[in-house]
Homo-oligomer: A and B are copies of this chain.
Amino acid sequence: MSKKSVSATSDTETRATSEHATDLRLWLRTLACTNLIENHIRSRLRTEFDITLPRFDLMAQLERSPQGLKMGELSKRMMVTGGNVTGITDQLVTEGLVVREDSPKDRRAYIVKLTPEGRRSFRKMAEAHEKWVVDLFGGMDEKQRDQLYELLALLKSSAAQAAGKK
């Protein structure tokens, strides 16, 4: 007894099951791409600049916000917990790449900023980092990259909404 192929005739239950499976495959592929790229970048940051990815990421956030950022802001933007940001910041302070300044508006908070050396150091790494990313995405043409960019915007808002409602 052979099963009919899932097509226009599939009932609700069959369709639901099949959608589950395809969504799962889609998610696993998304994850695989990210891990592939992230592992590569992590490895090169280490071998070529002797820095870890989390430290680089934190510095990247600060470079984009020259006025500095509160710990909580960093936590939100890096999508990691506050305790984690505390640890990474501690390391970068030890290395002299960032500083904690007291916030004049809120005595609970710190403002984290790049030091001049941190900024200089980051700029050099960022230049190489951009090249790596260009290479990693180089197998796609401009139209495909644009399409991917738009689809990921959809995914981001879809996931944000679903995650928000919980």
Q: A: which residues have CB within 8 A of B?
A: 2, 4-6, 19-27, 29-40, 44, 79, 130-145, 147-149, 151-163, 166
Tell whether, in the assembled complex, residue A163 and residue B136 are in contact, meaning their CB atoms are under 8 Å apart: yes
Tell whether, in the assembled complex, residue A33 and residue B133 are in contact, meaning their CB atoms are under 8 Å apart: no
Q: State A133–B27 Cα separation when bound (angstroms).
A: 7
Across-interface contacts of A23 in B (CB, < 8 A): 130, 133-134, 137, 145
Tell whether, in the assembled complex, residue B154 and residue A39 are in contact, meaning their CB atoms are under 8 Å apart: no
Q: State A40–B165 Cα separation when bound (angstroms).
A: 11
Given A24-B130, A36-B163, verify A148-B151 contact (CB < 8 Å): yes
Tell whether, in the assembled complex, residue B145 and residue A26 are in contact, meaning their CB atoms are under 8 Å apart: yes
A147 touches which of B20, B40, B142, B147 (Cβ 8 Å)? B147
Q: State A31–B162 Cα separation when bound (angstroms).
A: 18
Tell whether, in the assembled complex, residue A138 and residue B158 are in contact, meaning their CB atoms are under 8 Å apart: yes
